[in-house]
Structure 1
Amino acid sequence: MQPTPILQRAIKRLALTTKQGPHNYYKGNRTGAMGQHTKYGGYRIAWEKVRTYVCPDLTDFNLTPFVARRIEKRRDTFAHTETGSPMDGKEYLRRWKEEGGII
């Protein structure tokens, strides 16, 4: 399936995408290189090219995060598990069964 001739002309004027270019075409995101590759396969960072972001002074800042004050903090406890960790396999299966999991 091919686009109509009018659409083909319009496509030529659009920016090239990675799907339209050669198989090794990488468009990038305009960030630029922060160093250079060495002949041994490493990468040397040029610290004068590294971006640094300066955070403004936020003392006496009036805005707050967009979280309602009436939301209570979650108090999930995993003390009843063997390891006391939410990553415990038995705890995962127990919670999965509680939420309707089928074995």
Structure 2
Amino acid sequence: MRASPILQKAIRRLPLNTKQGPHNYYKGNRVGSHGTHTKWGGYVIDWRKVRTYVVPELTNFSLTPFVAMRIQKRRDNFAHTERKSPMDGKEYIRKWKEEGGNM
């Protein structure tokens, strides 16, 4: 089965995927290599290629996490109420402030 000529033109413009490429085509996920393979099947990490992240100093940091540590998971049954989910956005913010969240 083949696609129509118009659809074939559209498919040519789309990014190549693993089903359209050659049998050994591997697309990857854009992470790049961190080293090289050896001829014996091992892998040697090149530490110049490894990503390092600079973490800022967080002492006296005024922001708090959005979820208070004291909030317990609710185990209520909401099938018979007017709300569609266990906790909607407004209810979540109200509970978060009640449990000690700063906003």
- TM-score interval, normalised by the smaller of the two chains: 0.5 to 0.7
2:61 aligned partner, one-letter code:
F
> Aligned partners of 1:6, 1:35: CA distance in 2, in Å?
43
| Number of the residue aligned with 2:25 | 25
> Aligned partners of 2:44, 2:69: CA distance in 1, in Å?
48
Greater mean alpha carbon deviation, residues 58-67 or residues 25-34: 58-67
SS of the residue aligned with 2:53?
Answer: coil
| Number of the residue aligned with 2:44 | 44
> Aligned partners of 1:4, 1:23: CA distance in 2, in Å?
23
Please list, as runs of the form range in 1=range in 2, the aligned pairs for 1:1-103 lying within 5 A after superposition.
1-68=1-68, 71-72=71-72
Measured against aligned partners, the alpha-carbon deviations of 1:71-92 in whole angstroms (never above 9, x if no partner) come to 138xxxxxxxxxxxxxxxxxxx
Following TM superposition, by how much is the alpha carbon of 1:51 offset from its aligned partner in structure 2, in angstroms? 0.9
Higher relative contact order (CA 8 A, sep 6+): 2
Unaligned 5+ runs, structure 1:
74-103
Change (3 A) 1:68 1:4: farther
Q: How many residue pairs align between the two structures?
A: 73
Unaligned 5+ runs, structure 2:
74-103
Measured against aligned partners, the alpha-carbon deviations of 1:15-68 in whole angstroms (never above 9, x if no partner) come to 101121122211012221111111221111111111111111122323322214
TM-score (normalised: structure 1): 0.58
TM-score (normalised: structure 2): 0.58
1:26 aligned partner, one-letter code:
Y
> Aligned partners of 1:4, 1:65: CA distance in 2, in Å?
54
SS of the residue aligned with 2:36?
Answer: strand
Change (3 A) 1:56 1:5: same
SS of the residue aligned with 1:11?
Answer: helix
